[in-house]
Amino acid sequence: MTGLRAQIAGVVMALAAIAVCVAWLDRPIASLSYEILGHYYRLRAMTQSPSFFDMSTLAITLAFVARRLARASFGKLDAALVIGALSEIGTQQAVGALKILFGRTWPLYHNPSFIGEGVYGFTFLQGGDAYESFPSGHSASIAALLAVVWAFYPRLRGLGVLTLLGIVAALTLGDFHFLSDCIAGALVGWVLGGLLVRAMEPALADSLRDGSR
């Protein structure tokens, strides 16, 4: 129960942080970031980068297939790959639905936007590319994988957290997302990834032993 309470407390804190960012922090951070980095027009090319969901799911699937073709014994790595792929697919679907539900405009790079037209807020159930800022898919993708790494490979937790923080910083400082978008995306990915680990852990108990690879 202690672990469950800690997780619930973490979710509540994340939701509170999202509310604080939406009300007071998102706009000042976006404006300051634009003043400092807005003249780097090459940043706009990054808006055309492929989704992390697609790249990570493909990489995980290929790694799993390669191990099966090599007839490697099914171990911890294979279990992590299976759950990781499922986490990415499930999180991608959830993020897509939430983007439509909240219908939030972007900080920049879309029309309308906060920097370009001073438009800031949520237009619920509004579809379209211009209303898909919340939550961040890139943050959700990394967090979904982090949840799996956290369970299977504790020694890599620090590296995973640093990777997530780096992605959040890049997305926020580059005005690709508001800070609250990134926190919300990370929360979605972490929760869904963690739930999948918990759901499949009994069936994969042997693969989770320290001796499994």
**Which domains does the chain show, CATH number per domain?**
2-208 (1.20.144)
DSSP result, 29-67: HHHHHHHHHTT-GGGGGGGGSPPHHHHHHHHHHHHHHHH
Tell me the CA distances in angstroms from 90 to 41, 108, 118, 172, 193, one per residue in order.
34, 28, 34, 24, 9
pLDDT tens-digit readout, 142-188: 999 999 999 999 999 999 999 999 999 999 999 999 999 999 999 99
Cα angle for residues 76, 79, 83 (degrees, 5° grid): 140
- At residue 206 the predicted structure's pLDDT band, cuts being 50, 70 and 90, is low
Q: Can you give the pTM of this predicted structure?
A: 0.93
Q: Which of 53-62, 162-171, 172-181, 200-209 has the lowest mean pLDDT?
A: 200-209
Tell me the CA distances in angstroms from 130 to 5, 26, 152, 209, one per residue in order.
37, 17, 38, 46
The SS3 of residue 197 is: helix
- The whole-number average pLDDT for the span 23-33 is 97
DSSP single-letter state for residue 76: H
β-bridge partners, 113: 106
pLDDT at 197: 92
Both tokens of 99, joined, read 């983007």
From the list 135, 134, 133, 136, the residue with the least C-alpha distance to 106 is 133
Q: Is residue 50 pLDDT above 90, yes or no?
A: no
- Residue with more model confidence, 41 or 71: 71
The whole-angstrom distance between residue 68's C-alpha and the CA centroid of its chain comes to 28
Q: Cβ(29)–Cβ(172) under 8 Å?
A: yes
pLDDT tens-digit readout, 71-95: 888 888 999 999 999 999 999 999 9
pLDDT at 210: 45
The residues, ordered by sequence, that sit 6+ positions from 55 with a Cβ below 8 Å of its Cβ are none
Q: Which of 41-45, 191-195, 209-213 has the lowest mean pLDDT?
A: 209-213
pLDDT at 5: 86
- Residue with more model confidence, 39 or 166: 166
- Find the largest Cα–Cα distance for the chain: 57
Q: Is residue 2 pLDDT above 80, yes or no?
A: no
